[in-house]
Structures are given as structure tokens and as C-alpha cells.
Structure 1
Amino acid sequence: MNNHREFGRFFDGPSTGPLVVRWRDLDADAANEELERLGEWVVWFAGRYGLDHKAIPPCWNKHGAVVEEISALRTFWESCFQDDAGPTEPLAFHRDLTLAVRRLRDWTSLLGCTRIVHREPS
């Protein structure tokens, strides 16, 4: 079974819509490939919204909960700009972004990672 879902249906080819990534089902190679794609979005996203290492530490990709949160944010953000998206969807993203950034800060605080130190999960 494919490891991506587009709006509730599985697909075998390229997608024009946002992807929902099922991280638990990816093998190591597919996970690394997806992390690379997500990383490109994270660079843009963190810069665009002025998020620092307290929300998204440099080692974000080594922490499952942080990866899941960021991946969900990317999916939500992409869905807001689809042709069939409603005009208020970007506002919904920003409403939920506040909660997501709070969760990211909480995760990062619990992890103990800093701008220069990565701590392995215990």
C-alpha cells in the first residue's frame, strides 16, 4: 500500500494536492526522502513566520513528535491553497498555527535541545 494519502484516497502517481504522510509506514529510504522534502518547506516556513530554535530546533528531524507536527502543518498549509479551498482556509491555518507553534515550543522544551545541542530522546 502506498504511504501517502491525498484527501482520503490512496494514489500511485504524482499528486497535485497536499499529501498526508503516514510516517510510521515509511521505510528508512522513503522516510529520508520525505524528510528532505519536508526540510525544504521547514526552511521557508521558519523564515516566513520568524520561528526560532525554540519552536523548531536544528535537530527537528530527529524527533518524531516534532516531525509529525511540522508535517501536519505543511499538509494543512498546502490544502489552504488548492483550487477548491475556501477563501477563509488561510485564516483557519493561522488560527491553528498559534496552537501548533505552542506545541512545538513545548516539545522542544521537553526535549532539551538548543540551537547548538541535540539531546537524544530518552
Structure 2
Amino acid sequence: MDPNDELVRALALAVGTDPYVVSWRDLDTTRTREELERLSEWVNWAIHRYRLDHKVIPPCWPEHGALTEELSALRTFWEACYQEDAAPSDPLAFHRDLTLALRRLRDWSSLLGCTRTNHRPERVD
């Protein structure tokens, strides 16, 4: 069995339900960890599906707030575009905005300086 089969089934179950919006600011430590695990499933699928490399989404993305916020918003938009009552043009809207989101992710990842094997913590001033 392909390991992606289970993820595809889980993602298919999410379609047809309300888009899942996360307010990261309002989560406690336990909920943050749970939501990151849930988001990781979608991010891993997106990395595979769109052939994204570490220059766009570094492996340490959960350690960076801006990347987590962008990826979470992107997942919510993806879910909304594939609802049962979505307009036929919604998936195109997702891909149009995906282009912009990938540009932002690439810019943030570049500024962070993380690599495929090295995480650089953000400075807190």
C-alpha cells in the first residue's frame, strides 16, 4: 500500500466539511502541537504533489511562525476551494493564489537561511 493512500483518504474526508481555520495565537502548547501534526499531513502532501523543495518549505517550517501561518492559510483556502458547493473556478483561484504564496514562502525561507539539513532559529530581539 502506498503511504500516500492513507493521506489521500484523510484529505478526501476533509473535503465536504467546513474549511478548517486555525488561530495560532489562541492555542495553548498542547493544541499547537496537535494542530502542527494535522497541518504537517497537508504540507507533506503539498510538498509531494507540487514537487516543492527546501528552498520553498524547509523541513523546519514548524519552527517558523510566518511559514506556519502561510501554510495554514493555504491549507484552509485549499479546503474551501474543494468543498462540495465550491464554484467550478475555485480550484483555479487556489492555484492562482498558490503562486503568490509560494513566492512568499520562498522569500521567507531565503531570509531565514535554513537548509535541508540545518535549522537556523529566528533571532528574538
| Higher RCO (CA 8 Å, separation ≥ 6 residues) | 2
Corresponding residue for residue 9 of structure 1: none
Stretches of structure 1 that go unaligned for 5 or more consecutive residues are 1-14
Bigger fraction of residues in helix: 2
Say whether residues 1:65 and 2:66 are aligned partners.
Answer: yes
Equivalent position amino acid for 1:76 in 2: F
Report 1:40-55 matches (<5 A).
40-55=41-56
Structure 2, unpaired ranges of 5+: 1-15
Deviations 1:11-49 (A, max 9, x none): xxxx92111100000000000000000001111001000
In percent, how many aligned pairs have the same letter? Answer: 69
TM-score, normalisation: structure 1: 0.87
Letter of the 1:68 counterpart: E
Counterpart for residue 84 of structure 2: 83
Structure 1 residue ranges (4+ consecutive) displaced by more than 6 angstroms after TM superposition: none
RMSD: 1.0
Q: How many aligned positions are there?
A: 108
| Cα separation, 1, equivalents of 2:109 and 2:58 | 7
Q: What is the TM-score normalised by the length of structure 2?
A: 0.85
